[in-house]
């Protein structure tokens, strides 16, 4: 399997090179040259545990790592999860909930970043090389990335997060990690500002090459690859229905794009329900064909407080017939004007997706409703997925909702929704009183680059 850029300037590179490149050198995103059809094989995977299933799915995309080595990397990556199923399914009557928060930082990002951290170490050891990982986070990616690479040889990690705009526990999960190779950068601004700095830094190819810049955000294909697996696992756990729908809370479009890839590979997903909070750029795009940036609104679901969704470009590539010129024109128009439109009628958009936006009030109401009806606690992001899923349920079609984080990570929102119900987790309780380290910085690419050049010293 080879990889190519959505913008046409990179092609024919192997998986390991795609991992190290991260963001394509032409500013696009790397995608596989094709999405393999596994419809003839997947019914035989029903009895496989998570690790064995991951090997079957991932090996279709990875042919430059020996199968035995890939198996060892997968085994190491998912041995850190606290549930033997890794991503268990819970039945809530009209819904099935896929719990993706059983990793070390209690968020779905662990599923990809535990794997990516081990793959990075494997490649760097093999090549005798070093990398400086630069990441941007709206909350969960940062802590999961840090947990994936802390203390690993030949890797330094620099995580930018918007100062004061993640939950307090999300920040503590990052800033209490004091390993020498971990550097947290508190950016004055929004997540989109962090993401803008990241893309600008990666666009400086001489800097990227000189300092071995690498990406852990979902711009890195390995992130998407690891997330495809749990869609297949969920289908097995549901009893392999002929068709099922999936509701996905999303801001950066990576999680739901993995579901799209699984569908293209033959998994019988009927519809993907795209659920956003008040930052509804994706919802508006899929309902109108117009991709227009607005001001970021800060909500109870901070990981989705995003107005520029990186992974949409990968989907556009397939939507536009794998035509890099059309993708490049669309993205350049959006970058320069803040708005771009799909060039056909809205009815020609892929009917795989339906989309809804859920505001703060409805998010809290959904948290209360699920607890009252089932005695089950959901975090605000998961609540948005459930609320959107309810709007698009179809008779006779199972609805799977992705639970993306443990509710204890969002104390303020949970207290607002249910002041009399305590929500906690021992992993988070252990953070209280620990020393922290972070470096405040303006949203200035030159300042961030200088910080990397000095090895994390001001």
- Please identify every residue annotated as catalytic: 109
* Residue 317 and residue 327 in contact, taking contact as beta carbons nearer than 8 Å: yes
C-alpha–C-alpha distance, residues 375 and 8, integer Å: 50
- Cα 403 to Cα 378: distance, rounded to the nearest angstrom: 7
Tokens encoding 348 = 């020609």
The answer to whether residues 109 and 140 touch, using CB atoms and an 8 Å cutoff, is: yes
Residue by residue, DSSP assigns 286-354 as HHHSEEE-------S-GGG--SS-TTHHHHHHHHTTT-HHHHHHHHHHHHHHSEEE-SS-GGGS-TTEE
Neighbours of 209 (CB within 10 A): 10
**Are residues 130 and 108 in contact, defined by beta-carbon separation less than 8 angstroms?**
no
Indicate the SS3 state at residue 408: helix
Place of tokens 């779905």: 108
Looking at the DSSP assignment, which residues form a beta bridge with residue 97? 90, 401
Contact 382, 216 (CB under 8 A): no
Residue 356 backbone phi and psi in degrees, to 5: -145, 150
- CA 249, CA 400: separation in Å to the nearest integer? 12
Looking up tokens 């949203």, which residue turns up?
A: 443
By the 10 Å C-beta count (0-12 exposed, 13-18 middle, 19+ buried), 42 is classed as buried
Distance CA 107, CA 101 (A): 4
Coil, strand, or helix at residue 124?
Answer: helix
Q: What values do phi and psi take at 282, rounded to 5? A: -70, -40
Q: How many residues in total does the chain contain?
A: 458
């Amino acid at each position: 399997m080879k990889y190519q850029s959505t913008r046409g300037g990179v092609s024919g590179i192997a998986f390991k090179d795609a991992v190290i490149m991260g963001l394509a050198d032409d500013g696009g995103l790397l995608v596989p040259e094709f999405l393999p059809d596994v419809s003839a094989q997947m019914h035989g995977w029903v009895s496989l545990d998570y690790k064995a299933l991951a090997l079957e799915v991932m090996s279709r995309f990875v042919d430059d790592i020996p199968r035995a080595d890939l198996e060892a990397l997968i085994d190491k990556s998912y041995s850190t999860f606290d549930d033997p199923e890794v991503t268990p399914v819970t039945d809530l009557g009209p819904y099935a909930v896929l719990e993706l928060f059983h990793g070390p930082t209690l968020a779905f990002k662990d599923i990809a970043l535990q794997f990516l951290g081990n793959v990075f170490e494997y490649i760097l050891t093999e090549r005798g090389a070093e990398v400086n990982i630069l990441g941007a986070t709206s909350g969960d990616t940062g802590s999961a990335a840090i947990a994936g690479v802390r203390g690993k040889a030949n890797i330094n990690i620099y995580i930018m997060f918007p100062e004061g705009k993640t939950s307090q526990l999300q920040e503590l999960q990052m800033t209490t990690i004091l390993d020498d190779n971990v550097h947290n950068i508190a950016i004055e601004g929004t997540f989109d500002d962090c993401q803008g700095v990241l893309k600008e830094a990666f666009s400086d190819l001489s800097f990227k090459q000189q300092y071995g810049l690498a990406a852990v955000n979902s711009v890195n294909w390995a992130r998407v690859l690891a997330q495809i697996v749990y869609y297949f696992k969920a289908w097995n756990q549901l009893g392999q229905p002929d068709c099922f729908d999936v509701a996905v809370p999303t801001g950066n479009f990576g999680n739901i794009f993995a579901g799209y890839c699984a569908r293209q590979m033959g998994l019988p997903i009927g519809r993907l329900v795209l659920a956003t909070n008040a930052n509804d750029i994706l919802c508006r795009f899929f309902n109108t064909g117009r991709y227009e940036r607005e001001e970021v609104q800060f909500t109870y679901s901070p990981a989705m407080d995003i107005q520029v969704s990186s992974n949409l470009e990968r989907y556009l590539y397939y939507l536009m017939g794998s035509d890099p010129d059309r993708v490049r024109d669309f993205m350049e128009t959006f970058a320069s004007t803040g708005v771009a439109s799909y060039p056909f009628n809205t009815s020609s958009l892929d009917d795989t997706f339906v989309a809804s936006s859920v505001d703060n009030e409805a998010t809290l109401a959904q948290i209360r409703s699920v607890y009252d009806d089932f005695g089950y606690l959901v975090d605000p992001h998961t609540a948005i997925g459930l609320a959107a899923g309810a709007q698009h349920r179809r008779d006779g079609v199972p609805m799977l909702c992705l639970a993306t984080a443990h509710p204890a990570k969002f104390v303020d929102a949970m207290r607002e929704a249910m002041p009399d119900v305590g929500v906690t987790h021992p992993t988070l309780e252990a953070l209280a009183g620990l020393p922290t380290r972070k470096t405040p910085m303006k949203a200035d690419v030159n300042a961030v680059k200088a910080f990397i050049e000095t090895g994390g010293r001001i």
